[in-house]
Structure 1
């Protein structure tokens, strides 16, 4: 692969250069401007100087050729330079910083509560995606990669940190909690990557990000990746990166040639029917909505009309969000209705349609939503539903995004609607919401339970011990099994009781609620 890169200084350095003192607030520490165009001929990851175990892990994962952003940044990152990368989501940034960091960590050993490297990301979903990509690669080098995000057990994360973590992937809020509680010490975190820095700025995380960076070694290496480099991101670069090498492989406006953009004009009265027909299409679809309440309401309406849809937003627990994403990735749920929490944190293959049910707040959000489709060379369609009062707003936004969108008036059942989106009539048969029961807790001892009392845990079956899958253990008055005889194992169907009566099985508290998507 021969790639033309726009970079300030993409030559490799055999040894890490000496770093000048960092000026935390001055103007001398400015990033180099894009000043040269260099042709770099790289065809394989081996040419980038990665260790053999990493190369083997990449081959096993089916990753054979580096992307342009990886070709551009990995040599400078391996040489110890601070790197400033501008690239759109889906361009391969995770491996760009991940492979470089893992290579530099190779051979070292982590200390308790002192991670050696940190990847800071804005959302839980993005943290999980980064971890999914980097954990198998870290294992190939014998390195420990762990996640610290909100919505998951704090103590479990603290235990992992206490055992030693080589690469920590974290969100600013949860990492700040660990620092305050003394479960994480960043004084020896020499390698830091900031991913989606512009979104962290948009979400108001910059004060926390600055506090975190102030706790890391002043001479540590910083790799910052962002789709845009203005405003707060630019100030962060000036304050915390030392003589960074800038690489830009994508403009800040839309440039994906395999992505089609459409604006569908509808009436208020027919908007829901149009959305439902689009949801009934074949293929994987993401629908973006502004608020959590509207996400839940739209997902429910789609299911009522026969569309297998699930809701994703920040109001759900992390476990629920993980299950929703897993069902979406596996194809069990072809339609995902989400707030902008999914605009940058979801990396799922073969999303063929992105639907803006509510227009994006600005051109940046539009581009990040759109970036869920047409990834890694695949094709995709981006559609914005517009009512008459939204037309001017959307036109201005797409112009700023560098998008030329085809505008079409549509109604439910239109041939043009089907041509553009693949819309079709839904079945009309309501889709039951998938419910997952929490695992039962260990029961207590039964008493007075007839003969052979191993029949404790009866679920919804006949009688003994545990009656009902939701409400917790009520003693039953009769049945073929004994009470809850013995601790530890819970026989599935009560296979021990031959005596009559069943008695007063007294299990401990069981599952009280069921989780849904």
Structure 2
């Protein structure tokens, strides 16, 4: 049965948590003395080997909450080839690389073999690290399963499993992979499970794979940091309107804007906005999932080091960026999923610092905005008046882009309307050609069948004489007859298919 644990005691230090002297020395060298609530609540239970369910908003130190106790426990024992001792699953490459950096920083007094399995890197290079034995294996689910299916990885020696950012795993569709991996790992393992939010699907997962976990919840699920000043900014719905609004916001913040991450919903919007800001001479970079791994890491390094002031990014950067001093976050697009809003603005206001977030809102974003305010339980203030102060949208603004179901432009007939008019005109032309009623066949057409037989006989006689002169056989003559009959359909005044017994009503003369 899980045990609920709230915020940790303020008087606690890292020395009170049961960490080894080597780990404490590395933490002190890093400049930390007081643990965050999630660290104070999780580390003692993790060192004791208990399963832990940690729930905390982004930027509260969840990574160190499992890295520090893992290093302490790894001081005993050694890794064997292709059999990692611990496994950490991360949703993105950036977050996996971030965790590796934490192990290097806090494990500097240990000789730990760390293997990172992520996409965009050569399989051969990763296999060489696995062959040397991995004390710590950090991986994204897809790449880890690729190595397992190649026979390069054995999971029977895993002692500790960490599932980090579980709600993000759910959003990215990794839950089936997580379930498969959990079944490949020994049942007696220790599981450390961390998430910022707890949707029902994640709750079911914890019930399936955690055994009597200690629940450490330091804040209400899906809450935002009180250190972040949140504002909504109204804008027109056109892309150029939003870009102008963003540029005005950046300029208005002036020197208070040290650096900023600008989030877009789609990769194409990341590219377009990046080019627009470059055109207006802003110091900007871009980051999205389609970029090469080396380019992504280089872009992050430039942003961390301060060589880039602005970073336009998709939600791939919403988690895993350990940049403690991001001053601003701009949501160029209102996130479709309300949980993503929490993670986006969580890139600022970290480690007790203050931060600002601005979300650009158009008339079409009200549905998503309502979902965000419902999830976070707060009404976000408007920066310069709400959407009601905008001019009413015109019919052209509200009309969807031309495509299936899109309305035609007013004042000009579309192809469909012109076709309908043409059909009506033709209908009016031929309406008089229809007989009002069925009448008795006129006398002048009563002998039409006899006339038809006479003409056919003449044609056959003519064909037969031509066939005899040319030496054609009987079969050839019949083929010629058929071809000649087809070419002289204008001689067939009767209706084809009825022979001599054509009904009388079919012979009615039509006045045109």
Q: TM (normalized to structure 1)?
A: 0.71
Partner of 1:186: 155
1:62 aligns with 2:31: yes
Number of residue pairs matched by the alignment: 380
Partner of 1:384: 359
> Mind listing any 5+ residue stretches in structure 1 that lack a counterpart?
1-30, 412-517
User: How far apart are 1:258 and its partner, in Å?
Assistant: 1.4
Partner of 1:415: none
Q: Structure 1 residues 39, 395: closer, same or farther in 2, change over 3 A?
A: closer
Partner of 1:228: 197
1:32 aligns with 2:2: yes
User: How far apart are 1:230 and its partner, in Å?
Assistant: 2.6
In 2, the alpha carbon distance for the partners of 1:183 and 1:63 equals: 38
1:168 to 132, 137, 141: 137
User: How far apart are 1:211 and its partner, in Å?
Assistant: 1.1
Partner of 2:295: 320
Kindly indicate whether the alpha-carbon contact (under 8 Å) linking 2:234 and 2:385 is maintained by their aligned counterparts in 1: yes
User: How far apart are 1:42 and its partner, in Å?
Assistant: 4.6
- Name the SS of the counterpart of 2:108 in structure 1: helix
Partner of 1:293: 268
2:111 to 142, 145, 152: 142
In 1, the alpha carbon distance for the partners of 2:10 and 2:223 equals: 26
1:260 aligns with 2:260: no
Kindly indicate whether the alpha-carbon contact (under 8 Å) linking 2:7 and 2:37 is maintained by their aligned counterparts in 1: no
Partner of 1:217: 186
In 2, the alpha carbon distance for the partners of 1:91 and 1:54 equals: 20
2:308 to 330, 333, 336: 333
Kindly indicate whether the alpha-carbon contact (under 8 Å) linking 2:198 and 2:221 is maintained by their aligned counterparts in 1: no
User: How far apart are 1:32 and its partner, in Å?
Assistant: 2.1
User: How far apart are 1:196 and its partner, in Å?
Assistant: 0.4
Partner of 2:243: 272
Structure 1 residues 405-420: aligned runs within 5 Å: 405-409=380-384
- Residues 241-264 of structure 1: per-residue CA shift (max 9 Å, x gap): 111111100111324221111110
Kindly indicate whether the alpha-carbon contact (under 8 Å) linking 1:366 and 1:401 is maintained by their aligned counterparts in 2: no
In 2, the alpha carbon distance for the partners of 1:255 and 1:356 equals: 15
Partner of 1:93: 62
In 2, the alpha carbon distance for the partners of 1:251 and 1:278 equals: 31
In 2, the alpha carbon distance for the partners of 1:42 and 1:77 equals: 20
User: How far apart are 1:367 and its partner, in Å?
Assistant: 0.4
In 2, the alpha carbon distance for the partners of 1:362 and 1:198 equals: 12
Kindly indicate whether the alpha-carbon contact (under 8 Å) linking 1:279 and 1:335 is maintained by their aligned counterparts in 2: no
Q: Structure 1 residues 250, 317: closer, same or farther in 2, change over 3 A?
A: same
Partner of 1:102: 71
2:345 to 350, 359, 370: 370
Kindly indicate whether the alpha-carbon contact (under 8 Å) linking 1:90 and 1:375 is maintained by their aligned counterparts in 2: yes
In 1, the alpha carbon distance for the partners of 2:109 and 2:46 equals: 20
User: How far apart are 1:298 and its partner, in Å?
Assistant: 0.6
**Greater share of residues in helix:** 2
Q: Which runs of 4+ in 1 moved over 3 A?
A: 36-42, 277-282, 408-411
In 2, the alpha carbon distance for the partners of 1:41 and 1:384 equals: 34
In 2, the alpha carbon distance for the partners of 1:171 and 1:341 equals: 13
Kindly indicate whether the alpha-carbon contact (under 8 Å) linking 2:79 and 2:133 is maintained by their aligned counterparts in 1: yes
Taking only aligned residues, the RMSD between alpha carbons, in angstroms, comes to: 1.8
In 2, the alpha carbon distance for the partners of 1:193 and 1:272 equals: 41
In 1, the alpha carbon distance for the partners of 2:280 and 2:158 equals: 52
